[in-house]
Structure 1
Amino acid sequence: MNARLMVLPLLVVGACSRATPTPAPAPSPASVTENGVTWHLPYGKPTRPFSPAVQVGNLLFLAGQIGTSASAQGGVVPGGIQAETRQTMENIKDVLEKSGSSLDRVVKCTVFMADMREWDAMNEVYTTFFPRNKPARSALGANGLALGARVEIECIAAVP
């Protein structure tokens, strides 16, 4: 008799949980894979002639990022090299996380600067995003960065 009393509540709970099925998630255009290459599309189909992140094996290659934000209405954030570097690194962090990686898995960065005299000011902000292990890095001066940016940074990261 006790066994029957214990089984009845389990049957009732099981029947109730099956009565409200969880809907399947909607398909996401977050990535496209062909021939072993994955194009991560964290913001939907690209509106520019490049992808934000492309993965081959366990390596993720990020397109160069500049300090744009929605609050700057798609333009570069005001405030000079440090504000731009901070926003650039936040943009990199966002693309990395939406593509399955993170800042602590970045292995290489290339920094393009409109004015190399701003090197120290850029580094003050850049280094705060890599408090422990610093990725390998190259840096060079460049004329004519997109949207008049002071800095552009591209990265390569490992994907778990």
Structure 2
Amino acid sequence: MKPFTVLVPLLLVPTALAGGAEVPAPTPTPAITYHPSGGTLPFSDAVEVDNTLYLSGKIGTGADGKLVAGGVKAETRQVLDNIEASLKRYGYTRAQLVKCTVMLTDMQDFATMNEVYGAWMVRPYPARSTLGVSGLALGASVEIECIAAK
């Protein structure tokens, strides 16, 4: 017997046993785009999977790369400005945010961060988690990472 002849009946048996169900089409591979951070650190600024953008965490650094002065209120404003700049760079808006994770080095700063965050965020608000952490890069008080979808 030829191998092809032997394989055809074996391939038809599972279909026959399943009531003649067709084999599903393969799932398309998502389009993934990595947006480099532009620095020397080993992470991307953002990764886009089809129409979903995953932003790396942002801290309150200004154009000079240093934390802005003024504590958690000023840092939160700068973090949100940095998020907005990244969203715009990749063709998204804050209205397309679906999930944010906030990290605070002092949970006593929650109300102050939340006041700035709430004034900046667009309704309907994205899902959000807020975590207390023991430290952040550059001694930041707040870091926020987000996911946006088109």
TM norm structure 2: 0.76
Structure 2: segments with no counterpart, 5+ residues:
1-29
Give me the whole-angstrom Cα distance separating, in 1, the residues matched to 2:120 and 2:111: 15
Partner in structure 2 of residue 144 of structure 1? 135
Deviations 1:45-78 (A, max 9, x none): 44221111100011100000000012xx311100
Partner amino acid, structure 2, of 1:103: R
CA RMSD of aligned residues (A): 1.4
Give me the whole-angstrom Cα distance separating, in 1, the residues matched to 2:109 and 2:34: 33
Partner in structure 2 of residue 69 of structure 1? 62
Partner in structure 1 of residue 34 of structure 2? 39
Shift in Å, 1:128: 1.3
- Pairwise mapping of residues 1-160 of structure 1 onto structure 2 (< 5 A)? 36-41=31-36, 45-70=38-63, 73-159=64-150
Equivalent position SS for 2:111: helix
Give me the whole-angstrom Cα distance separating, in 2, the residues matched to 1:94 and 1:112: 20
Aligned length: 121
Contact 2:101–2:146 (Cα < 8 Å) also in 1: yes
Structure 1: segments with no counterpart, 5+ residues:
1-34
Partner amino acid, structure 1, of 2:34: W
Give me the whole-angstrom Cα distance separating, in 1, the residues matched to 2:119 and 2:40: 31
Give me the whole-angstrom Cα distance separating, in 2, the residues matched to 1:152 and 1:94: 15
TM norm structure 1: 0.72
Give me the whole-angstrom Cα distance separating, in 1, the residues matched to 2:74 and 2:120: 13
Give me the whole-angstrom Cα distance separating, in 1, the residues matched to 2:120 and 2:55: 16
Shift in Å, 1:129: 1.4
Give me the whole-angstrom Cα distance separating, in 1, the residues matched to 2:33 and 2:76: 28
Identity %: 52
Partner amino acid, structure 2, of 1:53: A
Equivalent position SS for 1:52: strand
